[in-house]
Amino acid sequence: MRRPVAPRIRSAVRGHRWMIGVTASAALLLPLLLGPSDDDVAPDERLEHDFTSAADEYHVPHSVLMAVAYQQSRWDSHIGVPSVSGGYGPMHLVDTRAAGIRDDGAQALAGAPAGAPTANGGKAALPPAERPTDLRRAARLIGTPAARLRTDTTANVRGGAALLAATQRQLGKQLSADPADWWETVARFAGAEDNESAATYANDVFTTIRQGATRTTDTGQHITLTASPGVRPHTVMLRDTQRPKQVECPPELTCSWLSSPHVKIDDEAYGNHDLADRPRDQKIEYIVIHDTEATLSSMLQTIQVPTEPSWHYSIRSKDGHVTQHVRTKDEAWHSGSQFVNDRSIGVEHEGFLKQPDAWYSERMYRASARLVRYLAKKYDIPLDRQHIIGHDNVPAPTASTIPGMHEDPGPFWDWRHYFDLLGAPLRATAGADSDMVTVLPDYKTHSPVFTGCVKEGERCATHGSSAVRLHTEPADDAPLIQDPGRHPEGDDSTDGVSDLGSRVSAGQQFAVADRSGDWTAIWFQGEKAWFKNPKNRPTAVGASGRMVTPKEGLDEIPVFGRPLPEESAYPEGIAVQYESPLPYELGEGQRYVTGGSLVGSYTDRSAFDTTPSPVVDGTEEYYEIQLGHRLAYVRASDVDVVNSQGSPVAAAPTKTGRTARP
């Protein structure tokens, strides 16, 4: 293992270049300036030591190196395991050959069919040897075998620093001690196929430098980058890439268009989406977060088949590139519930829920959060977990459809980090003894056992998770809560990675039913469900808000997967849809957090080629509730609304006839 060189001596004058050598006086101080040897570094501080040492060796500002690594991987190592794009280690250095990824330099829209536009307007991707993050080039620069950069974090960080320094020189710039002089190099390091993505990446890096960051990594390394709020980079003008006129995206994202067809698929219907005029005919209430459970190339073929499902946006794993397929005013077929389709926007993320480290990249998280924040502002959608939901939170429309509802994006999607990126961090809003809680485990250290990631019944590798498991009693060995909808044959809930029967997820809110020592019970699908919640390492925090409870005199009330209009609301020519209660009942005294109220509505699948289908609006009011892992709805006439301190409250009607969200 190498010993760090002496720290650089910096000029107090901004922009002064690195000094070569030291004065005689400084040389006398050299023993005092030398950092600790590798043998003296504590195991949980080794990575931070690696950043300091590599920054010194290759004359890269320490903050630039650390902030770039944060954007590349959030400082996680995933030792020896490549991402889907062949990236290794905390610097995410790319070696497609070692990762077994075909790399012919043709970077179309994640493998879209022939004739589809490329993500960068037709420009070919850089050959591997010229890519700013090429691992084999980094290995040559530091004189170390490539295999070591794939498995050794010290070598990986050194390789990243060497590549940054080499890029700075290629741009004709000196190795400045001032981070502000490195903006263009950082933009180049992104390896982006367009200027907007490169500039957004560089700006994210410098935002991290200004704000600082702290995190415990996947290997238990405690890393802190001290904030430098005064750093203002010397940016250069990058030419904008022309954006298709149909695209609805924030300006800082690179977005393409690949149309989902609206064509006749039989004598009575069109597909693969429904024409609408949202939000004029229906308010958009939800944004649904999916993962593709397939490569994006195959999904981009699926989206062009009229009889297949559709969704509004696809986001590519390797760089967060966004492709839009359906206008947001129209309804895509993405959620498994026509009611939710009517009121939502579907966002697909390339990936597999069982392989989060390979697919759920930081650049994809950030692109998704930018898109969702833009859409939420445009359509006045609350940034909370009852409106920004996973595909696994979508309510099944009927009891018979519950077993077939989807599980993505799964227990390894980092909801806490995602809401940080949305600018709406999940956090306590009441004291620890509140009668309402927000599920909020520490993702990086909360690692419940899951099975089935590789082979059915086989234990998954230990991994951070957003999911909290529920028991029938306050004990680790107590049976798991059973879900009669998910397991209608009476099978037990399991620890399978796709089994939602006994799980809740970060950001979801529930009413407290009981407490016992380190355990908390919540009302869940009509039952009391327990989870471990120690004070020194909580998995849920106090929350404030509103809940619904059955009206006095009602022993139990039904719950529904979709709030439908009353029979009299249907006009001639549209078949009446009849209520189908879910196999759960809410008992007297139980409480469930509500995300707001709405009236029942129904839209039939489109039978019109150029105009939207009519919306059937009822008059009966419903409340959306967090029933279990999924949402559900109860009639307003069956419940009272109470706040988190227990006193009754009234819901005020708005001008649209809806009631104000709690």
DSSP string, 379-408: HT--SSTTTEEEGGGSPPSSGGGGGGS--T
pLDDT at 241: 64
Query: Distances from the Cα of 45 to the Cαs of 39, 215, 216, 446, 462, in angstroms?
Result: 12, 12, 10, 21, 22
Share of the chain above pLDDT 70, in %: 85
pLDDT at 646: 60
Q: How far is CA 654 from the centre of its chain?
A: 32
Residue 559 neighbours by CB under 8 Å, 6+ apart:
581, 582, 584, 585, 586, 625, 627, 632, 633, 634
pLDDT at 565: 96
272 cis-preceded (ω within 30 degrees of 0): yes
pLDDT at 242: 75
pLDDT at 213: 96
pLDDT digits over 629-644, tens only? 999 999 999 999 999 9
At 604, is the pLDDT very low, low, confident or very high (cuts 50, 70, 90)? confident
pLDDT at 102: 67
At 79, is the pLDDT very low, low, confident or very high (cuts 50, 70, 90)? confident
pLDDT digits over 124-182, tens only? 344 444 678 999 999 999 999 999 999 999 999 999 999 999 999 999 999 999 999 99
Q: Look at 7 and 333; give whichever has higher pLDDT.
A: 333
pLDDT at 40: 63
CA distance 257 to 251: 15
> H helices of 100-239, where?
135-142, 146-151, 153-170, 183-189, 195-211
pLDDT at 130: 62
Closest CA to 592 of 285, 386, 304, 301: 386
CA distance 498 to 49: 39
599: pLDDT strictly greater than 80: yes
Q: Look at 248 and 131; give whichever has higher pLDDT.
A: 248
Beta strands in 297-383 (DSSP E): 313-315, 322-324, 331-332, 344-349
pLDDT at 38: 56
pLDDT at 662: 35
465: pLDDT strictly greater than 90: yes
DSSP state of 179: G
Q: How far is CA 605 from the centre of its chain?
A: 30
At 283, is the pLDDT very low, low, confident or very high (cuts 50, 70, 90)? very high
653: pLDDT strictly greater than 50: no
Mean pLDDT of the chain: 87
Unique residue bearing structure tokens 């697909």: 348
pLDDT at 656: 38
CA distance 93 to 340: 40
The neighbour count for residue 95, using CB atoms within 10 Å, is 24
Closest CA to 62 of 73, 51, 70: 51
pLDDT at 534: 96
CA distance 159 to 169: 15
Listed range (63-72, 119-128, 485-494) with the worst mean pLDDT: 119-128
CA distance 299 to 294: 7
Question: Mean pLDDT, to the nearest integer, of 595-624?
Answer: 89
Question: Mean pLDDT, to the nearest integer, of 234-249?
Answer: 80
At 107, is the pLDDT very low, low, confident or very high (cuts 50, 70, 90)? very low
Residue 618, SS3 per DSSP: strand
pLDDT digits over 292-322, tens only? 999 999 999 999 999 999 999 999 999 999 9
Question: Mean pLDDT, to the nearest integer, of 24-35?
Answer: 34
pLDDT digits over 427-459, tens only? 999 999 999 999 999 999 999 999 999 999 999
Closest CA to 628 of 465, 475, 440, 439: 439
Residue 634 neighbours by CB under 8 Å, 6+ apart:
548, 557, 558, 559, 560, 586, 592, 622, 623, 625
Residue 598, SS3 per DSSP: strand
Query: Token pair of 152, please?
Result: 């050794």
Helix or strand run (H / E) with residue 558: strand 556-558
CA distance 270 to 492: 41
- Which residues is 10 bridged to in the sheet? none
CATH 1.10.530 in the chain, residues? 24-225
pLDDT at 373: 98
365: pLDDT strictly greater than 80: yes
CB 265 within 8 Å of CB 274: no
- Which residues is 348 bridged to in the sheet? 290, 314
Share of the chain above pLDDT 90, in %: 74
User: pTM (2 decimals)?
Assistant: 0.88
- Domain with residues 24-225, CATH architecture: Orthogonal Bundle (1.10)
CA distance 229 to 210: 4
DSSP state of 185: H
N-terminal to C-terminal alpha carbon distance within the chain: 58
CB 503 within 8 Å of CB 629: yes
73: pLDDT strictly greater than 80: yes
DSSP string, 255-313: EEE-PPP-EE-SSS-EESEE---TTTSS---EEEEEE-SB-HHHHHHHTT-TTS---SE
CA distance 134 to 138: 6
